[in-house]
């Protein structure tokens, strides 16, 4: 199946700094990618839909200025958590669609200290 690579898998950052997470589709082109956030023992919550060459569509309650999404190419979407705070600590996971299937990255565990 298709491969989606997410990097980094783990990151620890200081409060107030920004962190960038990359999501790459390795063997297919993805015009649409999705970013999810998952709290411990909970389901995936969709944060935003990333569309190549246009602005991301954010879900209600997700701060656009806090979670910057860039989808500059057909194989790369990035999520930048700006001015991170401890409450931003979470598991972030991206997915890309190929036809009817969604393929997920390995996820990024962000810890803000």
Partner 1 sequence: AQKITQTQPGMFVQEKEAVTLDCTYDTSDQSYGLFWYKQPSSGEMIFLIYQGSYDEQNATEGRYSLNFQKARKSANLVISASQLGDSAMYFCAMREGLNNFNKFYFGSGTKLNVKP
Residues in the chain: 113
Backbone angles phi, psi at 51, to 5 degrees: -115, 130
Task: List the one residue from 1, 53, 61, 86 that touches partner 1 (CB under 8 A).
Answer: 1
Instruction: Write down the least CB distance from residue 16 to partner 1, Å.
Output: 26
Binding piece for partner 1, criterion CB under 8 A, among 13-21, 36-44, 62-70, 75-83: 36-44
Identify the CA nearest to 94 among candidates 79, 86, 105.
105
Q: What is the dihedral of CA 66, 80, 59, 110, to 10 degrees?
A: -90
Task: List the one residue from 31, 70, 80, 89 that touches partner 1 (CB under 8 A).
Answer: 31
**82 beta partners:** none
Instruction: Write down the least CB distance from residue 74 to partner 1, Å.
Output: 12
Q: Which residue has the tokens 């931003």?
A: 88
Yes or no: say if 49 and 56 are a contact pair by the CB < 8 Å rule. Answer: yes
Nearer to partner 1, 14 or 60 (CB): 60
Q: Please, which of residues 87-106 interact with partner 1 by CB under 8 A?
A: 91, 93, 95, 97, 100-106
By the criterion CB under 8 A, which residues form the site for partner 1? 1, 31-32, 34, 41-44, 46, 49, 51, 91, 93, 95, 97, 100-107, 109
């Amino acid at each position: 199946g298709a491969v989606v690579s997410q990097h980094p898998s783990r990151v620890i950052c200081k409060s107030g700094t920004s962190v960038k997470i990359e999501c790459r589709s390795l063997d297919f082109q993805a015009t649409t990618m999705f970013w999810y956030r998952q709290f411990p023992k909970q389901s995936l919550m969709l944060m935003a839909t990333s569309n190549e060459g246009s602005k991301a569509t954010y879900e209600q309650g997700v701060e656009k200025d806090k979670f910057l999404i860039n989808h500059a190419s057909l194989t790369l979407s990035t999520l930048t958590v700006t001015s991170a705070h401890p409450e931003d600590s979470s598991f972030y996971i991206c997915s890309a669609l190929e036809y009817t299937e969604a393929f997920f990255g390995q996820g990024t565990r962000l810890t803000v200290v």
